[in-house]
A and B are shown apart, each in its own frame.
Chain A
Amino acid sequence: MASDDGADDLRSDAAAGTRADVGALPDIGRREAGGWLVPAAAALAFAALPLVVSPYAQDLIVRIAIYAIFALSLELLVGATGLVSLGHAAFLGIGAYVTVLASGDSGASLALLVPLAMAAAAGYAIVVGALSLRTRGVYFIMVTLAFAQMAYFVVHDTKAGGGSDGIFLYAKPTLAIGAQTLLDLGQRLPFYYTVVAVLVLTYAFIALLLGSRFGHALAGIRVNEQRMRAAGFSTTPYKLAAFTIAGALAGLAGLLLAVKDGAVNPELLSWHESGAVLLMLIFGGIGSLRGAVLGAICFTLLKELFQSEALLGSLASHWQLTLGLTIIAFVAALPRGLIGIGARLRGVRAARAGAARST
């Protein structure tokens, strides 16, 4: 059965290719330069910015921070576990839609909305994960994309989802004890600080997770799943757990996005969003949590720049062209992302030093 073996070869080739490529990247669990100082300084900077910047810029920063949470959730899959999902926007969209639907006309408490949005996204992630993890490599990419499209059709075509126009969020969520309102996300500054706090917590949570036994198991799966299985790990539950946690965190980002925009529409679940968040990861540099945040910042700013008529004039209406060409140039020139520039420079310097020594 030569053709049989051939097909198997092809499949395992494809899988091995992905695994080896991701495995060759820097170890995500390892301490990055500066330890906690750099993220802590960045968090302080985020927190201090409203004091100096305009409301428009604050709005932009909130969007960046929400996309950073979204990108971090995907990093758990792509960078830490080596699973390239092209359907992550589904979980963002489900979190956002559940938030709006559960808020109704009168609004709802965050104590209800946060668990609800995360549980709904996690619920769909368990189902999609259980099915798509039966495949690997390029199949996995296609299957996750297809299931995200299914969620897209559900909100796009059914009455409950509000059709292609989406739904408005009439009342922003609050958090209250008795009659005392602790937090009202309808106000600008409290919302700003809530988003920054969620970003910090998400970052810390994923960093702790990756440092734990669970995180090491994920790293093992990324580098060599065969060996992990031989070592007695049942790898599928680990991958499914990572997929579900990533889905839940994306749902949380979706909640924040729905509150920020005050509306949801099916485009949130579109595969353009799924592709965009993957781009953020590769812009920043896969295999690094900082890279995910950096990538979210760069990608959002870049898109803002290309769409800005004030800066680019008539070229702004063709932003897809400029963005597309930039992506091609970027991925071709810097496959390791912005975080990789430092390593590359160090490599060049070391090579030069080596050359100088040998002459």
Chain B
Amino acid sequence: MTTATFLVQCLNAVQYGLLLFLVASGLTLIFGIMGVINLAHGSFYMLGAYLAFALAPWFGDWFLMRLVAGVALAAIFGYLLEWVFFSFLYERDHLQQVLLTYALILVFEELRSLAVGNDVHGVAAPAWLAGGFHLGGLMEYPWYRVFASAACLVVALALYAVVNRTRLGMMIRAGASNRDMVRGLGVDIRRLYRIVFAGGVALAALAGMIAAPLSSVYPGMGSSVLIICFVVVVIGGIGSITGALVASLLVGFVDTFGKVFFAEWSGVGVYVLMAIVLVWRPEGLMKRGF
């Protein structure tokens, strides 16, 4: 393996890991604060990818506007979905949450099939991000992937700032450590839940929109991401955003280099990593805090 290949793989690993982080951070926040296990979270990633596809003709070259519009739509969708569906799940036990959100996946998949069919669609990267930069020899690294990493990094930093530096973030952290106490102190917990849920949906949809030009848009793309995100959450520790970031990057590296070194068995690597973490620290790398 040459240095250039190694560098390219590292960049890919970081890019994949950061994308996973966007999905996993929403998942871990929703569980940490509302105690809901949401199997349908992968569907929000799929929703984002399909939004990128569906909004493309409307926005043309206005790529960033498209991202903003997609995220706004996804957030509104999340807000409404929490209202009509998820707010009824909080009092139910985990088994019922699993089954109800499982049913939701079936519904989403079928609605997707009714709305846009079952074909694989490509989404073009914007013209101003075409091409790439040279990395020694013939290797070229596409600018769009650089953009994807940078965008995810900006969002991750923004998320960190919101959670640690704002009043809303304070309520989120308080809600994650002791729900009842927050309610007792007069915080409108239902509104907080709705905002966090909408934020989680928006993050997952943003990841889907960013990933669409890289991976194309296809049926069932949500479930594979969902399970990897569960692995990320287990490795990172439930409710911990820092843990999710560390775990996402770890998973990104293990998956990317697994594909390079063990082509046929590469799917297993991430789960072996999870097994090691379970033996070493069953409660996840970051047991506490954000």
Residues of A in contact with B (beta carbons under 8 Å apart):
2-7, 9-11, 13-14, 17-18, 21-22, 78, 84, 86, 131-132, 134-135, 137-139, 141-143, 145-147, 149-150, 153-154, 156-159, 271, 275, 278-279, 282, 286, 318, 320-321, 323-325, 327-328, 331-332, 335
Contact A78-B95, Cβ < 8 Å, known A3-B288, A138-B31, A146-B274: yes
Q: Give the chain B neighbours of A5 by CB distance below 8 A.
A: 177
Partner of B32, one of A10, A17, A324: A10
Contact between chains at B110 and A131 (CB < 8 Å)? no
Contact A146-B110, Cβ < 8 Å, known A3-B289, A157-B266: no
Contact between chains at A332 and B94 (CB < 8 Å)? no
Count of residues in B whose CB is under 8 Å from the partner chain: 53
Interface 9-mer from B50-58, B67-75, B135-143, B279-287: B279-287
Q: Give the chain B neighbours of A139 by CB distance below 8 A.
A: 234, 238
Partner of B102, one of A159, A318, A327: A327
- Closest Cβ of chain B to A246, distance in Å, is 16
Contact A157-B239, Cβ < 8 Å, known A6-B178, A17-B93, A275-B102: no
In this complex, the member of A3, A149, A321 whose beta carbon has the largest number of chain B beta carbons within 10 angstroms is A149
Q: Give the chain B neighbours of A324 by CB distance below 8 A.
A: 103-107, 110
Find the A residue at minimum CB distance from B282. Answer: A134
Contact A146-B99, Cβ < 8 Å, known A157-B266, A321-B107: no
**Apart from A6-B288, A271-B223, A318-B113, what are 13 other A-B pairs with CB-CB below 8 Å?**
A6-B177, A11-B238, A11-B283, A86-B98, A138-B37, A141-B98, A142-B37, A145-B230, A153-B271, A154-B265, A275-B39, A286-B95, A328-B100
Contact A320-B109, Cβ < 8 Å, known A134-B282, A143-B278: yes
- Closest Cβ of chain A to B49, distance in Å, is 19
Interface residues of B in 141-193 (CB under 8 A from A): 176-178
Contact between chains at B176 and A138 (CB < 8 Å)? no
Contact A321-B227, Cβ < 8 Å, known A9-B178, A17-B94, A153-B268: no
Contact A84-B32, Cβ < 8 Å, known A3-B289, A156-B267: no
A80 to B265, CA, bound (A): 36
Find the B residue at minimum CB distance from A138. Answer: B37
Contact between chains at B95 and A282 (CB < 8 Å)? yes
Q: Give the chain B neighbours of A138 by CB distance below 8 A.
A: 31, 35, 37, 94, 238
Q: Give the chain A neighbours of B103 by CB distance below 8 A.
A: 323-325, 327-328, 331
A262 to B96, CA, bound (A): 34
Contact between chains at B93 and A21 (CB < 8 Å)? yes
Contact A146-B234, Cβ < 8 Å, known A6-B177, A131-B279: yes
Contact between chains at A2 and B106 (CB < 8 Å)? no
A78 to B98, CA, bound (A): 13
Contact between chains at A332 and B106 (CB < 8 Å)? no
A9 to B35, CA, bound (A): 12
A320 to B289, CA, bound (A): 40
Q: Give the chain B neighbours of A282 by CB distance below 8 A.
A: 95-96, 99
Task: Identify 25 residue pairs between A and B in the complex whose beta-carbon atoms are under 8 Å apart, listed by A's number.
Answer: A3-B177, A3-B288, A4-B288, A10-B176, A10-B177, A10-B239, A17-B35, A17-B93, A18-B95, A131-B275, A134-B278, A134-B279, A135-B283, A138-B94, A139-B234, A142-B230, A158-B265, A275-B99, A282-B95, A324-B107, A328-B100, A328-B104, A331-B99, A332-B88, A335-B96
Q: Give the chain B neighbours of A17 by CB distance below 8 A.
A: 35, 93-94
Q: Give the chain B neighbours of A3 by CB distance below 8 A.
A: 177, 288-289
A145 to B228, CA, bound (A): 10
The DSSP consensus for interface residues of chain B is: helix
Partner of B106, one of A21, A135, A327: A327
Q: Give the chain A neighbours of B274 by CB distance below 8 A.
A: 143, 146
Contact between chains at A331 and B100 (CB < 8 Å)? yes
A139 to B235, CA, bound (A): 10
- Closest Cβ of chain A to B163, distance in Å, is 13
Partner of B35, one of A14, A149, A157, A332: A14
Q: Give the chain B neighbours of A158 by CB distance below 8 A.
A: 264-265
In this complex, the member of B88, B93, B268 whose beta carbon has the largest number of chain A beta carbons within 10 angstroms is B93
Contact A159-B106, Cβ < 8 Å, known A10-B176, A18-B94: no
Find the B residue at minimum CB distance from A24. Answer: B93
Interface residues of B in 1-45 (CB under 8 A from A): 31-32, 35, 37, 39
Find the B residue at minimum CB distance from A281. Answer: B95
- Closest Cβ of chain B to A91, distance in Å, is 16
Find the B residue at minimum CB distance from A143. Answer: B234
A139 to B243, CA, bound (A): 15
Partner of B107, one of A146, A149, A320: A320
Interface residues of B in 76-121 (CB under 8 A from A): 88, 92-96, 98-100, 102-107, 109-111, 113-114
Q: Give the chain B neighbours of A145 by CB distance below 8 A.
A: 227, 230
Partner of B233, one of A11, A142, A153: A142
User: Does B231 sit at the interface, judged by CB under 8 A?
Assistant: yes
- Closest Cβ of chain B to A317, distance in Å, is 9
Contact between chains at B283 and A271 (CB < 8 Å)? no
A96 to B238, CA, bound (A): 34
Q: Give the chain B neighbours of A11 by CB distance below 8 A.
A: 238, 283
Q: Give the chain B neighbours of A13 by CB distance below 8 A.
A: 35
